[in-house]
Amino acid sequence: MFTRRTLAKNLGVIAAGIACGGEAAYAERSRIGKQEIVLLNANENPDGPPGVSVQAMTRVLAKGGRYHDEDNDQFSEILAKAEGLKAENALLGSGSSEILHCAVDAFTSATRPLITSAPAYELPVDIATAEGHPVLKLPMTPEYAADVHALVREAEKAQGGLIYLVNPNNPTSTITRNEDVAWLIDNLPPNTVALIDEAYIHFTSAARSAIPSISKGKPVVVARTFSKIYGMAGLRVGYALSRADLISKMAVYRNNVLSLPGVFAAKAAFAEAATLIPQRRARFDKIRSQLCGWLDAHRYTFIPPHANFVMIDVKRDVRQVIPAMAERGIAVGRPFPPMDHFLRVTIGNEFDMARFEEEFVKVVHA
């Protein structure tokens, strides 16, 4: 199974002379010389899991010798009920990566394409391509939103398929307008499913979730993750909400075991979501605003962000910038064709962004 995190893609090529393997680059205490690597390449949350999650994991570690299907089922029901749905409307996965994988497996085929925007998160495209299923990648609008009318037209031509929409979008950190997402859902052609990836929706108040469309019977799958705002990327917990019949089709492709500590960590954090999410969003808003102000002050062009990352126009191929930043101890995002001049930078903590600003100036003016 493909994963969300592939080091070779995330770091690009670590410049020659930096002897730093994949595992070392991801280790928390990795260093280049005497400095730690600042990881601004994978849209991770530097806050990590909240304290209640760490405590929950500690309590259940001794129970790790048993399978705990009943705990997974209970958590699925909690997630569904929070949205006014039933347990049959929820599916847990190993991160939302597994959810995306299940959706591609269930709803694309040799005759039913994956239809998405470019650029958007690549995992579904990679999966469909590897399985020999057709992929249609459509240009975004000038505002870097999904062209929902074009997506629907292509689904009509193909007589069905899977439309994949990321909102907020990765890598552009932009949103597709609420009315456009609603139009897409209301105008899905026969034999078409919409997969709405809401991995980053908690970082903005401007985008409305597509979850309410599920109770209206729409053929929509909403993918969520605990990797981003909840800070649990390494714990691998995600979930889908959808109609019961669509969940059943996806469940056929899901692995049957999730990490016990991960599930309990996610469950504990979800119970605190009403306070946890606004607190974390406020912190990201502050640091994101500071970074955007700094970029404006230095006359760097960027796309106004709605998630925990920003796309900066570096006026050259990012394949030149990524290794140059790595040489200076800053890991930044991979290339995202066709936006080859834009560099994706994750919003870290205050220290991370100060380091980034210091080294970015040196690299882009070299």
Instruction: Give pLDDT tens digits for 136-185.
Output: 999 999 999 999 999 999 999 999 999 999 999 999 999 999 999 999 99
Q: What is the pLDDT of residue 28?
A: 34
338 has a pLDDT exceeding 50: yes
Give per-residue pLDDT as tens, 273-312: 999 999 999 999 999 999 999 999 999 999 999 999 999 9
34 has a pLDDT exceeding 70: no
Residue 349: partners with Cβ closer than 8 Å, 6 or more residues away: 46, 47, 287
Q: What is the pLDDT of residue 324?
A: 97
68 pLDDT tier (thresholds 50, 70, 90)? confident
- How far apart are the C-alpha atoms of 332 and 318, rounded to whole Å? 10
Tokens of 199: 């991995």
Q: Over the chain, what is the mean pLDDT?
A: 91
33 has a pLDDT exceeding 90: no
- Summarize the confidence of residues 356-365 as an average pLDDT: 96
Torsion, Cα 212 87 164 140, to 10 degrees, reads 30
Q: Higher confidence at residue 68 or residue 322? A: 322
- 51-272 topology per CATH: Aspartate Aminotransferase; domain 2 (3.40.640)
Q: What is the pLDDT of residue 9?
A: 40
Q: What is the pLDDT of residue 114?
A: 99
Q: Higher confidence at residue 12 or residue 115? A: 115
Q: What is the pLDDT of residue 35?
A: 58
User: DSSP state, 314?
Assistant: -
29 has a pLDDT exceeding 70: no
83 has a pLDDT exceeding 60: yes
- One-letter amino acid of 126: D
Beta carbons of 264 and 71 less than 8 angstroms apart? yes
Q: Which of 25-39, 262-276, 332-346 has the lowest mean pLDDT?
A: 25-39
Q: Look at the chain and count its residues.
A: 366
337 has a pLDDT exceeding 80: yes
Q: Give residue limits of the domains in the chain.
A: 7-49+274-364, 51-272
- How far apart are the C-alpha atoms of 169 and 88, rounded to whole Å? 28
| CATH H-level, domain 7-49+274-364: superfamily | Aspartate Aminotransferase, domain 1 (3.90.1150.10)
17 has a pLDDT exceeding 50: no
Spell out the alpha helix ranges (H) of the chain.
Answer: 7-11, 22-26, 51-60, 69-81, 95-107, 123-130, 148-158, 178-186, 244-251, 260-271, 273-297, 318-327, 350-364
Beta carbons of 196 and 221 less than 8 angstroms apart? yes
* Cis peptide preceding 261, ω within 30 of 0: no
| Sheet-wide strand order for 238-242 | 90-93, 238-242, 220-225, 192-197, 161-166, 114-118, 135-139
Q: What is the pLDDT of residue 366?
A: 75
- Summarize the confidence of residues 198-219 as an average pLDDT: 98
- How far apart are the C-alpha atoms of 231 and 179, rounded to whole Å? 30
Q: What is the pLDDT of residue 1?
A: 47
Residue of 271, 217, 211 whose CA lies nearest to 241: 211
Query: E strand or H helix at 242, and its extent?
Result: strand 238-242
94 pLDDT tier (thresholds 50, 70, 90)? very high
| Cα atoms in the Cβ-side hemisphere of radius 13 Å centred on 29 | 0
